[in-house]
Amino acid sequence: MGITFTELRENLKALTLSAMAGGLEVHLRQAKESGIGYDEFLLELTATELRSRSENRLNRRVREAKFPLHKPMETFDLNAVPELDIRLFRELAGSGFIKERRNVIFLGRSGAGKTHMATALGIEACRNNYRTRFVTCYGLVNELIEARHETTLQRLVQKYAHYDLLILDELGYIPFSKEGSELLFQVLAERHEKGAVMITTNLGFADWTQVFGDPVMTAALLDRLTHKAHIVSCPWDSYRLKQSLKEKGKQGRTTHANNGL
């Protein structure tokens, strides 16, 4: 490669087009071999840069979201949950609710796949370039309680207000102290109609007072959270339980068949 090549690569680097700089040699060689025109060569090279940028952006968004496990959409088996409103689920995957600042509440038993679905939709949100954050209710409340002794509380509330999508996992597993619910209320009030919140819970709305303590505050919170919210009800049994019963069923049938031989 000659001096022009080196200079060109330096220019691309100076313009922070690093994927184009990195792919230049290969693309030039391929272009010469296949005899494609200048326009096609430039198209391919710029496409490389765009692809690399969107990949980097997705990785950055996913890293910032702090999902507990990497469970993208394709790992969720829709056939296992025939009661799921698939039309709604697909619509949510398009992230329109984030733009509309509408909340999503997953209601269902433990093991139903609520965390998995929330994670998958969160990854889709990252793909659609929304700032996303996944946190358990318990983790968030603890973080708020720790910060409240310091001047950092307001900053923390602002931090959680600025995400485009806040996923609050496992509401209802552990009741909060009065202080804890007040702090959580503060975060949710700050986000109200400013950003979408996705909640997973095993509690029916009637039982939310048990978690938040104060009935007046719970009513105010529910009113805000459920306003224009998408409620995804997941009334089926635990996925793992269903899977292991299926496995047992299969084994039973196999044993039976073997006995018949």
Residue 137 binding target from Mg ion, ligand ADP, none, CB below 5 to 8 Å by type? none
Burial per residue of 228-238, b for 16 or more beta-carbon CB atoms within 10 angstroms, e otherwise: ebbebebebee
User: Can you tell me the distance from the alpha carbon of 162 to that of 147, in angstroms, rounded to the nearest whole number?
Assistant: 18
From the list Mg ion, ligand ADP, none, which binds 71 (C-beta under 5 to 8 Å, kind-based)? ligand ADP
111 binds, among Mg ion, ligand ADP, none (CB under 5 to 8 A by kind): ligand ADP
Q: What is the DSSP letter of 80?
A: G
Using the minimum distance from each CB to Mg ion, give the nearer residue, 49 or 170.
170
Q: Which is nearer to ligand ADP, 71 or 148 (CB)?
A: 71
Query: How many angstroms separate the first and last alpha carbons of the chain?
Result: 72
Q: Please give the residues from 80 up to 119 whose contact with Mg ion meets the rule CB under 5 A.
A: 115
Rg over alpha carbons for the chain, rounded to the nearest Å, is 25
d(CA 211, CA 215): 10
Count of residues engaged in binding Mg ion, rule: CB under 5 A:
1
Q: Which residue is nearest to ligand ADP (CB)?
A: 113
Q: How far is the CB of 122 from Mg ion (least distance, A)?
A: 13
User: Which of Mg ion, ligand ADP, none lies near 227, with the C-beta cut-off 5 to 8 A by kind?
Assistant: none
Task: Quote the least distance from Cβ 97 to ligand ADP, whole Å.
Answer: 19
Nearer residue to ligand ADP within complex by CB, 227 or 240: 240
- Are 107 and 147 in contact by the 8 Å Cβ rule? The answer is no
User: Phi and psi (nearest 5°) for 166?
Assistant: -110, 120
- 6-37 CB burial, b ≥16 within 10 A, e <16: eebbeebeeeebebbbbbbeebeeebeeeeee
Binding site for ligand ADP (CB under 6 A): 71, 76-77, 80-81, 108, 110-116, 200, 239-240
Tokens 């019963």 -> residue: 245
When the beta carbons of 68 and 215 are compared against ligand ADP, the nearer one is 68
Nearest CB to Mg ion, comparing residues 3 and 69: 69
The answer to whether the CB of 122 falls within 8 A of the CB of 56 is no
- Residue 172 binds: one of Mg ion, ligand ADP, none (C-beta under 5 to 8 A by kind): none
Q: What minimum distance in Å lies between the beta carbon of 194 and Mg ion?
A: 26
Minimum distance, C-beta of residue 173 to Mg ion, in the bound complex (Å)? 8
Q: What is the C-alpha to C-alpha distance for residues 203 and 210, in angstroms, rounded to an integer?
A: 10
Partner from Mg ion, ligand ADP, none binding residue 141, C-beta < 5-8 Å depending on class: none
CB of 114 to Mg ion, least distance (A): 5
